[in-house]
Chain A
Amino acid sequence: MEPIVLTKDNFEEEVLKSDVPVLVDFWASWCGPCKMLSPIVEEVAKEAEGFKVGKVETDDEMDLAAQYGISSIPCLIVFDGGKEVKRSVGLIPKEQVLKLVK
């Protein structure tokens, strides 16, 4: 599956109320490392079993970025049961992305 495009309107439904863990990629179009990470996150999304993957564009969704204290991107956050359980900042290889959701 493609990553879900997350906005302040669907974040609660898709992430906080999800019955499976959700890996959320906070990114922006001007951020080089984010663009490097994007294809990795998309690959993980396609192969995802037992979890979902979503993306938040921080320029469009400044409120969500502020709410989750994003101050450096790319930033991956795993939500489970409506709560943040893991966070990783910066470009990481696929294996490390997968470790976040395992």
Chain B
Amino acid sequence: MFDVIIVGAGTAGLSAGIYTARSGKSALILESKAYGGQIINTPEIENYPGIKNISGFEFATGLYEQAVGLGAEVRYEKVISIEDEGEIKVVNTAENSYECRAVIIATGAKNRQLGIPREEDLIGSGISYCATCDGAFYRNKAVAVAGGGNTAIEDALFLSNYCSKVYVVHRRDAFRADLKDVEQLKSRENVEFVLNANVVAVLGEDKVEGIEVKDKNSGELRQIPVAGLFIAVGQEPDNQAFSNLVALDSTGYVVAKEDCLTNVKGIYTAGDCRTKSVRQLTTAAADGAVAALAACERIM
């Protein structure tokens, strides 16, 4: 029996592990993939207070070592369900079943898919969700970016440094991204905006050779030859496994306020997986502390 089980070893989950361990409680962190969460994809972090510059990998590794060093245990098992038996909670993974007195759901968020045919199959064969990770492989090639938010515009700017041509496909004609970045992107000669349009299909068999876009107003279809499609249409949570237990909002986030309490006693939530307006490294770390201290107080 553990005092607290934390689902997810990203910034929120590991921070919760640190606070739980330092409160003298036993903490088990269950992670389906690898520690670190989304931040490991970030080459440079420059907005974490007290740290001028650090890579996402170094940050995540430091956080992991700190949590484990304090006594939190990390196991790599995917949580498939949680059962609420009052004072005792049962956390089921594909391999095991664990009992504990409090649970912190810190499952984070993942890249939202565009929802076009064969999207998953072509990841790594022309479809990417990370321009800074994969952009260098498209040097002197034409690529497309789908999306209109900050990430999409930043991705397009980054890619325009390497690629022969960058098409920015956006379903509206205005951008949510920072105006300064949009203006900068508009000044790039190798960038073409395809607005009021949706990507409806990927061309090519085993790898991306082009995209088909549909104009929202005219319904006209246009084929654009590109070697890569970078998808930047936001994030989505991964909380389906808990939908029968805690309240989720219409987009799947665990409903909770700044106190990180869910509608179920003894079950808390932290980080990007909960309803909130700002999703940053600092807010994830803060949630981890808030949720862990609330959990530890309850099981005193």
Q: Would you call A36 and B57 a contact (CB within 8 A)?
A: yes
Tell me which residues across on chain A come within 8 A of B60, comparing CB atoms.
32, 36
CA distance A33 to B36 in the complex (A): 9
Contact of A36 with B126 at beta-carbon distance under 8 Å, contacts A71-B228, A72-B133 already known:
no
State how many angstroms separate the Cβ of A62 from the closest Cβ of chain B: 9
Q: Closest B-chain residue to A92, C-beta based? A: B33
CA distance A70 to B242 in the complex (A): 36
Q: Would you call A36 and B124 a contact (CB within 8 A)?
A: no
A31, A59, A71, most chain B CB atoms within 10 A = A71
Tell me which residues across on chain B come within 8 A of A35, comparing CB atoms.
40, 57
Task: Fill in one digit per residue for B115-152: 1 if any A CB lies within 8 Å of its CB, else 0.
Answer: 00000000111101010011011100000000000000
Q: Would you call B41 and A72 a contact (CB within 8 A)?
A: no
CA distance A90 to B38 in the complex (A): 13
Interface residue? A75 (CB, 8 A): yes
Contact of A65 with B137 at beta-carbon distance under 8 Å, contacts A33-B41, A36-B40 already known:
yes
Task: Fill in one digit per residue for A7-39: 1 if any B CB lies within 8 Å of its CB, else 0.
Answer: 000000000000000000000101111011100
Interface residues of A in 82-100 (CB under 8 A from B): 87, 89-94
Interface residue? B34 (CB, 8 A): yes
Q: Would you call B126 and A30 a contact (CB within 8 A)?
A: no
Interface residue tally of chain A, by bracket?
A: 20 to 34
Q: Would you call A71 and B33 a contact (CB within 8 A)?
A: no
CA distance A70 to B60 in the complex (A): 26
Tell me which residues across on chain A come within 8 A of B36, comparing CB atoms.
32, 36
Task: Fill in one digit per residue for B52-73: 1 if any A CB lies within 8 Å of its CB, else 0.
Answer: 0001110010000000000000
Q: Closest A-chain residue to B32, C-beta based? A: A93
Chain B residues within 8 Å of chain A by Cβ, number = 28
Q: Would you call B40 and A72 a contact (CB within 8 A)?
A: no
Q: Would you call A32 and B124 a contact (CB within 8 A)?
A: no
Interface residue? B171 (CB, 8 A): no
Q: Would you call B123 and A72 a contact (CB within 8 A)?
A: yes
Q: Would you call A72 and B33 a contact (CB within 8 A)?
A: no
Interface residue? B76 (CB, 8 A): yes
| Pick from A30, A31, A75: contact of B124, CB under 8 Å | A75
CA distance A58 to B139 in the complex (A): 13
Interface residue? A48 (CB, 8 A): no
Q: Closest A-chain residue to B206, C-beta based? A: A69
Contact of A72 with B42 at beta-carbon distance under 8 Å, contacts A65-B137, A93-B33 already known:
no
Tell me which residues across on chain A come within 8 A of B207, comparing CB atoms.
69, 71
Q: Closest A-chain residue to B227, C-beta based? A: A71
CA distance A35 to B34 in the complex (A): 11
Interface residue? A45 (CB, 8 A): no
Q: Would you call A71 and B41 a contact (CB within 8 A)?
A: no
Q: Would you call B124 and A33 a contact (CB within 8 A)?
A: no
CA distance A83 to B180 in the complex (A): 48
Interface residue? A73 (CB, 8 A): yes
State how many angstroms separate the Cβ of B215 from the closest Cβ of chain A: 28
Interface residue? B24 (CB, 8 A): no
| Pick from A65, A71, A93: contact of B76, CB under 8 Å | A93
Contact of A32 with B41 at beta-carbon distance under 8 Å, contacts A71-B228, A75-B124 already known:
yes
B76, B125, B138, B228, most chain A CB atoms within 10 A = B125
CA distance A69 to B134 in the complex (A): 12
Contact of A69 with B125 at beta-carbon distance under 8 Å, contacts A33-B133, A35-B57, A36-B40 already known:
yes
Known pairs A36-B35, A72-B133, A73-B133 / 4 extra A-B pairs, C-beta < 8 Å: A30-B43, A75-B124, A90-B123, A93-B76
List 8 A-B residue pairs with CB atoms under 8 Å apart, sorted by A's residue number.
A32-B40, A32-B43, A32-B55, A32-B56, A71-B124, A72-B133, A90-B123, A91-B40
